[in-house]
Chains A and B, each alone.
Chain A
Amino acid sequence: MTESTLLSIEDVIVDLPTPRGNLRAVDRVDLTVGAGRTLGVVGESGCGKTMLSRAILQLLPKKAKLSGRVMFDGQSLLQLSPEKLRKLRGRSLAVVFQDPMTSLNPVLTIGTQLIETLQEHLELDMRAATKRSVELLAAVGIPAPEQRLTQYPHQLSGGMRQRVAIAIALSCEPKLLIADEPTTALDVTIQAQILDLLAREQRRRHMAMILITHDLGVVAGRTDEVAVMYAGRVVERAPTPALFKKMRMPYTEALLAALPKIDAAPHTPLPAISGRPPDPTRPLKGCSFSPRCRYAWAQCHVEKPRLEESDSPGHQFACFRPIDTSAGAGA
């Protein structure tokens, strides 16, 4: 990697106590993000994407147990005081959630929320903060921004609310933006506009981004690197072009195959993945994907494959029988 590492997480584990027993939401995840780069994190519902992003932000549920290391911009986040963390989250580490109402306060106007953030973190005076707020709203494509300042979140459409949440997240020029399914709740035309907006602002600000989604289509054209998660683990990780050129882990391949393709003829049967992910409170001894994997053999049911480097640079996968090898499946 030519650019400096901004975020590195090592051996991160998130355990959640539940009535059914311990739930390991994130299981020994290692990831890095370089300054100005985009990492896509893909996986099905419940695979641990949100818990991973909350672990980075140190915003886990109270009862959650976190271990491992999270280094951001030269500091170890697990060692920071709550006060320092709060400062950091407003400024250099920002987040946009799937539901914009998670980040917006329903009883405050858009203007108040933006202006307070700017005043607190950038120490601007009222006039400067107001001016900057209008600029930010205009930059995220909100028409008549001056008038919006006096409106409340419920007076805006879902797409507009997400734009406001993005404006607030971008307001202090963060070094890293974590976007957790920022467009999942939105229509496809609005989704494209929001993703364009994020990409444009990212380039302009040389900001790094983690784009979390369950849609392989969303990461394909918009990320430098992709990490695929399954049952709390990263099971494949590669530069985006390399991943789509040659998927090695059977789950990644199956996930792509199961997607309806716009250029396929109507009534083409989809290669569905049978079954569903394992119960996270009942971890499997072997590969988590083994009950659904058509390439599984005996070893897969008793031993967990580790994420290992392949012969292609930066391409890692966790599988005993990777696709397209003499030892593996599909060969």
Chain B
Amino acid sequence: MMQQALPAVSNDPLLDVDNLVVEYPVGNKIVHAVSGVSLQIARGETLGLVGESGCGKSTLGRAVLQLRRPVSGRVLFDGQDLTAMQGDTLRLMRQRVQLIFQDPIASLNPRRRIGDIIAEPLIISGVKDAAKRQKLVDEALSAVGLDPALVVGRLPHEFSGGQCQRICIARALVLNPEFIVCDEPVSALDVSIRAQILNLLEEMKARYGLTLLFIAHDLAVVKAVSDRVAVMYLGRLCEVGPSEQLFAKPAHPYTALLIEAIPVPDPDVRPAETVPVGEPPSPISPPSGCRFRTRCPRADQRCSDEVPELRAVASGQFVACHHPLI
């Protein structure tokens, strides 16, 4: 019943997520954080994932990496099902996938030196030769624009937020992964630093042929780096499509609402008085049918009776809505 259709993007995707369900028990209730999400990411592609706070973006990212085990569904990485893996097999697989967090300072151990922090994944994955480790650490730091000689001996608190994010990126790169989940990597950074880090991620992606799942709530940031964008609302996908197409012609009312709400740095563009659409309902008891219906200006009876499935509306663009805009 929760099944959302599976938009195929490529015959040989690196990541193929099928009908993923993730829940959190709280007391005697259940938070329906991710409810039947399917998506694919092609090799070398960046898929942007946007949506409001609490809609399940981080949960989805963590469940893809098996840092939170899903209730049901499959996650095929390079053809192999991560949800079926345990122990050493999973550990080996994890070297090929990495995660970068929103809060760079909090995700670095404050008592460890930068050199040790970046060498740690190497030790865990069994690189025993210290000289080789040091060489790889130096390479990773240089790649993100830090001078290893000036950095390895120092502690995280001696660095700014932007520098800490560079260090986190170096740590993610050191094992030479194929796929990285970037969970709001620039949300905590200032505008001027944000641009530096976005450029760096793009550069690293090109240099190492990375595939990225890029999570953010800022649409302009997502568009800057993504080939395709997936829009999420209260645990489900509303719309998936090529970045430019999706922003130019959104099919889902929620996507349109998000685009309309972006503040534009141009005084001639008077902000449209937004429809007071209220706030998202609780994921503990999501609305029946379409989860967006309590805020949707187009909602009708069918929207509360029937769960909309993802279906194609234009080339490569898929929408889950009974009354799409296109």
Contacts and interface: CB of A to CB of B under 8 A. Distances in A.
A237 B256 CA distance: 34
A215 B263 contact: yes
Interface residues of B, number: 48
Nearest to A245: B267
B219 A188 contact: yes
Contact of B274 (A196, A220, A256, A262): A196
Contact of A44 (B191, B219, B262, B270): B191
B269 A220 contact: yes
Given A255-B192, A276-B162, A269 B199 contact: yes
A128 interface: no
Contact of B265 (A157, A192, A217, A267): A217
Contact of A214 (B190, B223, B261): B190
Given A187-B52, A193-B277, A259-B265, A268 B271 contact: no
B221 A260 contact: yes
Contact of B225 (A244, A256, A267): A267
B52 A189 contact: yes
Nearest to B269: A221
A274 B276 CA distance: 40
Given A214-B190, A273-B195, A266 B265 contact: no
A222 B266 CA distance: 10
A215 to B, nearest CB: 6
A36 to B, nearest CB: 18
Contacts of A268: 224
Given A221-B264, A274-B196, A189 B257 contact: yes
Contacts of B76: none
Nearest to A47: B190
A188 B224 contact: no
B129 interface: no
Given A44-B192, A189-B52, A274-B196, A262 B259 contact: yes
Given A196-B273, A266-B223, A266-B225, A143 B195 contact: no
Interface in A32-73: 44-45
B194 interface: yes
B244 interface: yes
Contacts of A221: 263-264, 266-267, 269-271
A254 interface: yes
A267 B276 CA distance: 33
B198 A193 contact: no
Interface in A217-242: 217-218, 220-222, 240-241
Contacts of A214: 190-191
Contacts of A220: 263-267, 269
Closest 8 CB pairs of A and B: A217-B263, A272-B195, A270-B195, A192-B261, A258-B195, A273-B192, A260-B224, A260-B220
11 contacts: A157-B279, A159-B279, A191-B261, A192-B263, A192-B274, A196-B271, A215-B263, A258-B192, A260-B194, A261-B220, A273-B196
Interface of B: 52-53, 160, 162, 190-196, 198-199, 202, 217-221, 223-227, 243-244, 247, 257-271, 273-274, 276-279
Interface of A: 44-45, 141, 143, 157-160, 187-193, 195-196, 214-218, 220-222, 240-241, 244, 254-256, 258-262, 264-274, 276
